[in-house]
């Protein structure tokens, strides 16, 4: 029988794959081919897996680099014998610490991480695991194993490289998942605030606060922005709770007045029906009467019923007038309560004129930023600025123009400020700017940059350009002082800037 050619064997192999309903994968094809030919095909050389091993094999010392070079050449040449020799060389290196091929040199020991560096990396991994969700058990397992390895005696640097690569690869997926979760939560929060804004269009203050919440959640969140969102949300909840209480109270009082009105109206109707019945009876008696003596008592009865009806009508009129007056007084009281609540709500943490923080809001921000500055050991500056010649603006153009100038200044400040900077109205024409993570020199430069921006953005009053300038003092928080001490130092520097000619910035 003639020997079958490779092409015949290949066709038969494909036929058997179809008959046995096997996927035409290389492994299935090789197995069927070997079965038909009665021989065993040589295994493919695993160059890819060997090169992956090549990337993690240590090569710090001269001996290791020589063995690594031999390993790479053996993989390229598909030489199993050479690969075996390299593996044996690494094994001898690990057991004896010496290489027989180079007796004149002593191979140094495998490099180990310094204890301090290993502990710093361990703390980094520990902090990373703390911020990760518990859903991904694999990344937590890899992180725990890495922590145990780093805190073992003299951990080898080569092993750390492999374990860090595995951990960082898995960590990248966990980070992507958490970023997606944060983005979705922020989107949902933004939708809730948008709905609140749409439902509160009749209340200007509440609508403004909810719109501020919408704006705050429409951008990448930071801890400072979250704090601001929390403060605003507390104000909104307070306003809604008070409004609901007033509404319920007003509804109950209106119900009481309406019930009294209906009751009195019913009494009037009953009196009117009784009067009409009496008049009809009297009319019948008069029609039947034949003498004056018979008519006289009937007339007296008519006069009595008429007087009673007039008295009831007068009393009813007085009572209805009293109900109307009470309703008007209640309406005026509700309006006063609404105005008072609006004023209290507006002044909770923000200045109603400029929209900047007020004293209470400034105290909260300063407390938070001082704690963060000392915890993270980063600088913190406060700048106190005072509008130059503000009294002349009020005297010449009126207080309304002065208020508009302050609003203009606050708007320009917001365009120049960083997202983490905070603006507060300190009193009258004085403002405080909180500058986190800012040293004194950078704080002075920021105020000078704001002064230059004001010269580019004129304040307009009836087409008249007014140049608004300010004098400022800048103080960097010292470790031993509180917020008021730093503001007082900035205030003193501001007065020094005034004496030096205004429109200046002076360091405290």
Q: Would you name the residues annotated as active-site residues?
A: 429
Where are the strands (E) in 60-142, listed by range?
Answer: none
Task: Name the helix (H) or strand (E) containing 426.
Answer: strand 422-427
Distance CA 226, CA 206 (A): 19
Distance CA 201, CA 191 (A): 16
- Which residue blocks in 347-398 are alpha helix, DSSP H? 359-376, 390-397
Contact 459, 477 (CB under 8 A): no
DSSP string, 323-354: HHHHHHHHHHHHHHHHHHHHHHHHTTTB-TTT
Distance CA 501, CA 508 (A): 17
In the three-class reduction of DSSP (H, G, I as helix; E, B as strand; rest coil), residue 155 is classed as coil
- State the first-to-last Cα distance of the chain, in angstroms, to the nearest integer: 107
φ and ψ at 89, to 5 degrees?
Answer: -60, -45
Contacts of 342 (CB under 8 A, 6+ apart): 205
Distance CA 62, CA 68 (A): 10
In the structure encoding, which two tokens stand for residue 99, read together? 């290489």
For 409-442, b where at least 16 C-beta lie within 10 A, e where not — what string? bbebbeebbeeebbbbbbeebbbbbbbbbbebee
Contact 413, 432 (CB under 8 A): no
């Amino acid at each position: 029988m003639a020997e079958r050619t490779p092409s015949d064997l290949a066709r038969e192999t494909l036929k058997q794959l179809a008959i046995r309903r096997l996927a035409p994968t290389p492994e299935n094809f090789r197995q069927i081919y070997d079965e038909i030919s009665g021989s065993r095909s040589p295994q493919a050389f695993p160059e890819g897996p060997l090169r992956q091993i090549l990337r993690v094999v240590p090569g710090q010392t001269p001996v290791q680099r020589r063995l690594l070079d031999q390993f790479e050449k053996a993989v390229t040449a598909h030489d199993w014998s050479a690969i075996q020799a390299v593996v044996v060389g690494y094994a001898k290196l690990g057991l004896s610490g010496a290489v027989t091929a180079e007796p004149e040199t002593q191979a140094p020991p495998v490099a180990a991480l310094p204890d301090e560096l290993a502990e710093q990396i361990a703390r980094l991994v520990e902090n990373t695991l703390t911020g990760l969700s518990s859903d991904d058990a694999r990344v937590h397992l890899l992180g725990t194993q890495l922590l145990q390895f780093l805190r073992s005696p003299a951990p080898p640097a080569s092993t750390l490289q492999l374990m860090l690569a595995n951990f960082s690869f898995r960590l990248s997926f966990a980070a992507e998942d958490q970023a997606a979760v944060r983005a979705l939560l922020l989107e949902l929060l933004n939708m809730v605030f948008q709905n609140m804004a749409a439902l509160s269009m009749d209340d200007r203050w509440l609508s403004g606060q909810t719109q501020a919440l919408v704006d705050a959640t429409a951008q990448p969140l930071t801890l400072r922005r979250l704090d601001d969102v929390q403060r605003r949300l507390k104000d909104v909840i307070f306003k809604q709770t008070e409004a609901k209480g007033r509404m319920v109270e007003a509804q109950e009082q209106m119900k009481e007045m309406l019930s009294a009105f209906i009751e009195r109206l019913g009494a009037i109707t009953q009196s009117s029906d009784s009067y009409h019945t009496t008049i009809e009876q009297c009319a019948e008696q008069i029609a039947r009467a034949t003498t004056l003596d018979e008519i006289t008592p009937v007339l007296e009865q008519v006069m009595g019923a008429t007087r009673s009806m007039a008295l009831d009508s007068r009393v009813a009129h007085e009572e209805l007038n009293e109900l109307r007056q009470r309703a008007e007084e209640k309406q005026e009281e509700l309006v006063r309560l609404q105005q008072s609540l609006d004023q209290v709500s507006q002044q909770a943490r923000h200045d109603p004129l400029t929209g900047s923080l007020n004293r209470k809001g400034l105290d909260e921000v300063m407390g938070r930023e001082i704690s963060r500055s000392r915890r993270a050991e980063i600088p913190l500056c406060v700048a106190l600025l005072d509008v130059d010649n503000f009294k002349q603006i009020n005297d010449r153009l009126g207080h309304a123009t002065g208020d508009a100038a302050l609003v203009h200044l606050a708007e320009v400040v917001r365009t120049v400020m960083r997202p983490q900077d905070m603006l507060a109205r300190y009193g009258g024409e004085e403002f405080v700017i909180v500058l986190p993570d800012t040293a004194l020199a950078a704080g002075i430069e920021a105020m000078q940059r704001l002064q230059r921006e004001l010269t580019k953005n004129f304040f307009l009053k009836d087409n008249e350009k007014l140049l608004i300038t300010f004098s400022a003092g800048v103080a960097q928080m010292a470790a031993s002082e509180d917020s008021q001490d730093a503001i007082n130092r900035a205030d003193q520097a501001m007065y020094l800037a005034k004496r030096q000619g205004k429109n200046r910035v002076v360091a405290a």
